[in-house]
Amino acid sequence: MRGRHILEGYSFIGLWIVGFFLFMAVPLGRSLYYSFQELKTSRDGLIADYVGSLHYRAAFTVDVQFLPLLRDTMLAMLRHVPLVLVFAMICALLLNRHAAGRMLFRGIFFLPVIIASGTILKKLLEQGAAQLPIFMQYDLYSKLRLFIPPDLLMTLLAYSDSLTLVMWDSGVQILIFLAGLQTISPQLYEAATCDGATKWESFWKITFPMILPMIFVNTLFTMVNSFTKADNGVMNHLRTVVFSNNNYGYGSALGWIYFIVIFLLLGLVFALFRKHLASMEGRG
Amino acid sequence: MEETRYNYGRRSFSLQLQDGLRHSAARRGRTIAGALLYYFVLLSLSFVFMYPLLYMVSKSLMQSWDVADATVRWIPKSFDLANYRIAFAEMNYWQGFANSVITSFGSAALQIVSCSLIGYGFARYRFPGYGLWLALLIFTFLVPPQTIVVPLYMFFSSLGWINTHLPFVVPAAFGHGLQGALFVLIFIQFYRRLPGVLEEAARIDGAGHLRTYWQIMFPLARPAMLVVFLFSSVWHWNDNFQPSTYLQLPPFYNLAQRMSGFYGKASMASEQMSQSISAGAIGMAPTLLNQIMAGVILSILPILLLYLFVQRYFVESVERSGIAGE
C-alpha cells in the first residue's frame, strides 16, 4: 500500500522532476562549471580551458562596472521593497472595502500587471510617460525651493518620481494581499469592535498577523522581481558580457556571484520571517 | 481604562441617551466624509494607474500639427490613425502577432496543464522525498533565469531549437519555463483548500488516481487556471529577455522585439532630424515620438483586449484561487 502511494505521488510530480533536471539542475551545474573555464568558440563548438577562480577574481578587481552596479542594485532594492509592500497593502485595504464600483477599481488597479512588465515599462520610462505630471508641470521645484532646502527637496522629488515606479510594480502584490484579506473572517472584526477595539487596533491585532504569510510571499516576490527586472543594471551588464562580447565563462561567473548575493539576501528574509510564520502554522 | 468605565456607569440615563444621539449624528457625518475621502483617494490612484495608458493613446493619435499646436494637450484636433498605419507596416504586425500568440498562449495553455498536475501531486500526496522536492521547487522560483541562460542556450542550440518556438513551449510542458514554479505554487495552494471528500467519493466509485484528478479535481481548478493563464500569457507576451536570446532572426521576432526594434529605429531617426534642425526642435521630433507610442499601443493591444474580456472573472477568481501563496 505504501509502495503504491509513493508511485502515485511521483506519477504526478515526475514530470516536474524530469523538467527540473533538464532545464534547471543540469544548466545550473554547467554554468558553475563554465565559470571556472575560459570558453572559446571554434568550428567544432566550444573549447573549454580551465582557469580556476580567475573570473571570480576579475569580477572584484578588474571589472570596473560590476561592483558599483551591484551596489546600486542592492540599494535600489532596499528602497523599493518596503515602499512596494506598504503601497500594495494600502491599495489592497482600499479595494477590500465593500463599496460601490470596487470591481471597476480593481480592474484599473490590476492594469499595471498587464502593461507594466518587461519592455513596455522600460520604453515608457524613457519617454517619461510613467512620470506624473504634477511634479514637473507645476514647477514644483522652484516653488518649493523657498521653503525646503534644495538637497532635501531633490531627494523628495526623486522619491516621488520613484513612487510612480512603485505603483507600477505593485500590481501582483496588491492581488496577493487582496486575496489574503479575503480569507480573514469578518466575525473577527465584529468581535473586536464589540470589545471596543478601534480600526487602528484591529488592523494591528487582526489584519497584520493574519496577513503576515502574504507579506512574506510579497517580500520574496518583490525582491526576485526587482533582481530580474528589464531595467536592472547588473542584468544588462551580464547580457553585454555574454552576448555582445561572447565571454561565456566570465558571464557565468558574474551570474553566479549575483545569484549567491541574491540567495544570501533571500535567506536573511527567510530567517527574519521564520519565527513568526512558525507560530502562525501552529494556529492554522 | 478602569476609570472611564467607572465614570460611564455613574452617568444618568438621560445623559447617556443625549450622548448617544450626538454620537450617531457625528458618526453619520463622519461616514459621509469618509466615503468622499475614500472615493477621492480611489479616483486619484486610478488616474495615476491609467495615466501612462491615456498618455500613450493621446500621443499616438496626434499628428505633427497637433504637436505644434499649443492648445492641444490631450485631445487632438482631428482623428487620424496615420501613426498606427506606419507602425503597423514598420513592425510587420501580423507576423509578429502570430509569433507572440504561439509563444505566449501556447506556453500558457501548456503551463496550465502541467503546473496543475504537479501542484495537485504536491498538495495531495506525501511521499519520501516530498520535502526535498518542495524545497527545490521554491529554489527554482528563486533562481534568476539569467543565471542559467548560457547553458540553456547551448543546450537548445545543440538541439537545433534556436529560431523556433520550442525553447518556450517545451519547458512549459514540463511545468518549468517563465515563472513555472510560481504557477505550481498557486495550484498547490488551490488544491490544498479543496475538501478531500470529493476524491474519496470518486475512489469509492472506482476511479483511479489519475482519473480522479483529471475528471474531478482539474475541472474544479478553473479560478486558479484563469489566474495562471492570464499571468503566464501576459508575462510571456511582454518578456523581452528570452525571446531576444532564442529568436535571433527578424522573421521569428515576436511583437515585443519588433516594438523594441521600431522604437530604436525611430528614436535614432528623430535624433538625426533634431540635429539637422536643432534650433526649431525641442527634444524628440514630434511625429516620430507619436509613431513610437502607436507602436507600443499596437504591441500590447491584444493582451489589453484579453484583459478587458476576462477582467471581471479574473478579479473574482483571484479571491478564490488561493494565489495568496504559502
The span from the CA of B40 to the CA of B34, in Å, is 10
pLDDT at A67 over 70: yes
More confident position, A121 or B120: B120
Q: How far is B324 from chain A (nearest CA, A)?
A: 5
Q: Which residue, among B1, B116, B149, would best test binding to A if mutated, counting the most A CBs under 10 Å from its CB?
A: B149
For A234, the closest chain B residue by CA position comes to: B146
Lowest mean pLDDT among A143-157, B70-84, B247-261: A143-157
pLDDT at B107: 94
Cβ proximity of A122 and B256 under 8 Å: no
Binary contact (B304, A115; C-beta < 8 A): yes
Directed axis angle between helix B130-142 and helix A208-228, to 10°?
A: 60
More confident position, B273 or B115: B115
Cβ proximity of A13 and B122 under 8 Å: yes
What is chain B's length? Answer: 326
Q: How far from chain centre, in Å, is Cα B111?
A: 15
pLDDT at A161 over 80: no
Which residues 50-79 of A have a C-beta within 8 angstroms of B? none
> Which residues have a Cβ under 8 Å from the Cβ of B254 and sit 6 or more positions away?
B96, B99, B100, B103, B104, B237, B243, B247
Binary contact (A16, B259; C-beta < 8 A): no
pLDDT at A147 over 70: no
Helices (H), chain B: 2-10, 13-61, 64-68, 82-90, 93-101, 107-124, 130-142, 149-158, 166-173, 180-193, 197-204, 209-212, 218-220, 222-238, 241-246, 255-276, 286-321
- B93-129 pLDDT, tens digit per residue, is 898 899 999 999 999 999 999 999 999 999 888 888 8
- Does the domain at residues B82-321 carry the CATH identifier 1.10.3720.10? yes
pLDDT at B7: 47
Cα-based distances in Å from B277 to A127, A172, B271: 21, 45, 10
Cβ proximity of A96 and A103 under 8 Å: no
Q: How many CA atoms lie within 13 A of A259 on its CB side?
A: 22
Residues of chain B found within 8 Å of residue A114, distances taken between Cβ atoms:
234, 300, 303-304, 307
- B166-214 pLDDT, tens digit per residue, is 999 999 999 888 888 989 988 888 888 888 888 888 888 888 888 889 9
Cα-based distances in Å from A145 to A149, A154, A155, B301: 6, 9, 12, 42
Average pLDDT, chain B: 80
Kindly state the cell numbers that stand for B301.
Answer: 493591444
CATH class of the domain whose range is A65-231: mainly alpha
Instruction: Flag whether residue A132 sits within 8 Å of chain B, measured between CB atoms.
Output: yes
Residues of chain A found within 8 Å of residue B314, distances taken between Cβ atoms:
110
More confident position, A107 or A279: A107
Local confidence band at A231 (pLDDT 50, 70, 90 cut-offs): low
The span from the CA of B230 to the CA of B108, in Å, is 8
Q: What is the number of other CB atoms lying within 10 angstroms of the CB of residue B144?
A: 19
- B277-325 pLDDT, tens digit per residue, is 544 444 445 567 788 888 888 888 898 888 888 877 776 776 666 555 4
Q: Where exactly are the structural domains of chain B?
A: 2-56, 82-321
Single-letter amino acid, residue B87: A
Single-letter amino acid, residue A254: L
More confident position, B5 or A273: A273
pLDDT at A108 over 70: yes
Binary contact (B148, A6; C-beta < 8 A): no
- Average pLDDT (A27-44) is 80
Average pLDDT, chain A: 78
Binary contact (B144, A46; C-beta < 8 A): no
pLDDT at A284: 37
Per DSSP, the three-state class of B281 is coil
Q: Tell me how many degrees the CA angle B312-B316-B320 measures, rounded to the nearest 5.
A: 155
Residues of chain A found within 8 Å of residue B292, distances taken between Cβ atoms:
123, 127
Q: Where exactly are the structural domains of chain A?
A: 65-231
Local confidence band at A68 (pLDDT 50, 70, 90 cut-offs): confident
The span from the CA of A189 to the CA of A88, in Å, is 21
The span from the CA of A256 to the CA of B148, in Å, is 9
ipTM computed for the complex: 0.78
